[in-house]
Chain A
């Protein structure tokens, strides 16, 4: 199952890298390449989610759940993988909702912000997967320079968890109000 998971993870990681590049090209460049990037983004994102879901489901079968939850590396891998999936799900929904106009106005910057944040997440998930497979990368050292030793579990103090939830609730409420106003 470990090998299958490693094989499947190429799909979301590859598609997420491609989607991030397409967002950057679509946001910063003009011309044919930028047009193609904008036009082809949604299918790439949909494929990335399908690949991500498959890789994550198979990933949970590599080791017993007790082992997944007991290992700092595995916990971190799961967290970063699910956050990556979450962020690229956001992008997918937004691009799907906006259609051809996803890159118009300031929208493009929202996509860029989310794609870069997601890029850090899936890069972290990937290097953690490498650790678990016995092949670590120098990117772990980069994460260390950013204040996180990947051998320690990524968890936050209560007040930060509360702030994160409040951000979600506040922005969610704002969004719902704006949707009602807009009819």
Chain B
């Protein structure tokens, strides 16, 4: 026994730190990877900065947004001519569009207190059950058969909706009755959605204007774009007017070059279009935008671009302007001096769309009153923007929906029931990491169990190996 005490036996204790050390240095690897079949794409950067300013005069309010982007993505939904066919590039897809044909965007949700949970939890409350592009997204066929969403509204996916527009918060199908939805809207239970698009609205100096209730709806009127496609003839309806632009189409190599000439022709609008000429000698690589830009009308045309929104030196700089009172209280949140409101902002960049955006936590906006983001009162037609930027950190939210957050599977559900704001418990970075892990929830949980048990097995084996060296020394052995 004395020989064992002095021998190598006790050093077998290193079995535990070696096993656990190996687990430590490799932890977090082997599960998280892109899986486009399951609508999973994890962005390289999980957070990004956004700078915001706000100002208002007697009639209008201005928001200025500035965020970094490696390049400007202004092309969206393009038709490329190839061997006699017009091929579509730029529809919604998981992750970045490989051709770069998906527009940059900034979207802002605004509330006036009509949706109290929005001020505490931001856009999370709009992420419902089986949303589009989630791994468990509702099938288009099922949505299309839904009596309200499918048959009445003609939708085939589940988009943002507010929790109380469903009788069962965990079931997207349980849309409340039409009279209840109408009453909710009258009572202010909806979110205003400012939606600037680098391709489908910015070239003509406007922003889209939408609202979120039982779905992500558009304001009344017509939007800043329509579809340039003749499905009967399988070809575009319009092309660039050669008399006005000197060309009939864009070129694919220009569209995918990553360069943008904001003063050149990179879009199709009512001002530069003409009827499509099927007899023209179209060449492979000719490109016609699948969206025709047009001046929005009605409530949907309430938001305009102030000046010129441009990408320059690695940053987008976008300023939007709207009347404080648009006269459309069922579509917009009416703002006023001395008001405090809630906002949440999302940015799309790197040619990604749908849920591959970066979102902010909710912040308060004050018009003459104390708030996170203080809108500066000014006289005149346009603000000077002399004040400091308000810095936000945006984060990739992953696949976390509201039904989950208020369920037993979320330890913070009781906090939500008590109204504890999200900022009190979570940072943006933390939420981003959690969002990614939720996309691999089952695989990570399973691997975690295995790691836990493997560590305990290593400990048990090491104990057995050490026991012979730790035998009690009987009388007489001590000499």
Contact = CB atoms under 8 A, between A and B. Distances in A.
A, B from the same assembly: yes
A104 B478 CA distance: 10
Identify the interface centre among A108, A134, A157: most chain B CB within 10 Å of its CB.
Answer: A157
Nearest to B430: A151
Interface string A148-160: 1101111111101
A167 B430 CA distance: 34
Interface in A112-134: 113-114, 116-117, 121, 132, 134
Contacts of A132: 411
A164 B409 contact: no
Given A86-B456, A168-B461, A157 B437 contact: no
Interface stretch (A5-13, A47-55, A60-68): A60-68
A102 B10 CA distance: 11
Contacts of A97: 467, 470-472
A48 to B, nearest CB: 16
Interface stretch (A14-22, A36-44, A73-81): A73-81
A67 B10 contact: no
A108 B22 CA distance: 24
A174 B29 contact: no
A153 B471 CA distance: 38
B19 A163 contact: yes
Contacts of B471: 97-98, 182
A176 interface: yes
Contacts of B26: 156-157, 160
Contacts of B10: 105-110
Contacts of B1: 182
B379 interface: no
Contact of A155 (B18, B434, B444, B459): B444
A176 B467 CA distance: 9
B411 A67 contact: yes
A106 to B, nearest CB: 4
B455 interface: yes
A90 B381 CA distance: 76
Given A106-B7, A107-B469, A170 B19 contact: no
Interface residues of A, number: 73
B465 A104 contact: no
Contact of A156 (B5, B447, B467): B447
B92 interface: no
Contacts of A156: 22-23, 26-27, 29-30, 447, 450-451, 454
Contacts of A90: 16, 459, 462-463, 466
B456 A171 contact: no
Contact of A69 (B25, B438, B445, B462): B445
B473 A175 contact: no
Contact of A175 (B29, B437, B458, B468): B468
Given A105-B6, A114-B16, A70 B460 contact: no
Nearest to A79: B452
Contact of B441 (A70, A99, A146): A70
B409 A171 contact: no
A113 B14 contact: yes
A155 B468 contact: no
Q: Interface centre among B408, B430, B458, by most A CB within 10 Å?
A: B458
Interface in B421-456: 424-425, 429-430, 433-434, 437-438, 441, 444-445, 447-448, 450-452, 454-456
A157 B314 CA distance: 38
Contact of A182 (B16, B25, B444, B468): B468
A137 interface: no
A148 B457 contact: no
A63 B412 CA distance: 9
Nearest to A106: B10
Given A154-B27, A164-B22, A110 B11 contact: yes
Contact of A164 (B19, B433, B469): B19
Contacts of B13: 109-111, 113-114
Contacts of B17: 113, 116-117
B28 interface: yes
Nearest to A121: B20
Interface in B9-63: 9-20, 22-31
A58 interface: no
A171 B12 contact: yes
A155 B28 contact: yes
A181 B438 CA distance: 51
Nearest to B408: A64
B464 A171 contact: yes
Q: Considering the complex of A and B, which 4 residue pairs feature the smallest CB-CB distances, nearest first?
A: A157-B30, A168-B461, A105-B5, A175-B464
Interface of A: 63-64, 66-72, 74-75, 78-79, 82-83, 86-87, 89-90, 93-95, 97-102, 104-111, 113-114, 116-117, 121, 132, 134, 146-149, 151-158, 160-161, 163-165, 167-176, 178-179, 182
Given A98-B471, A132-B411, 8 more contacts: A70-B441, A79-B448, A89-B459, A99-B472, A100-B473, A108-B10, A152-B433, A167-B461
10 contacts: A67-B411, A83-B455, A86-B455, A94-B470, A102-B470, A106-B7, A134-B425, A157-B30, A167-B458, A179-B467
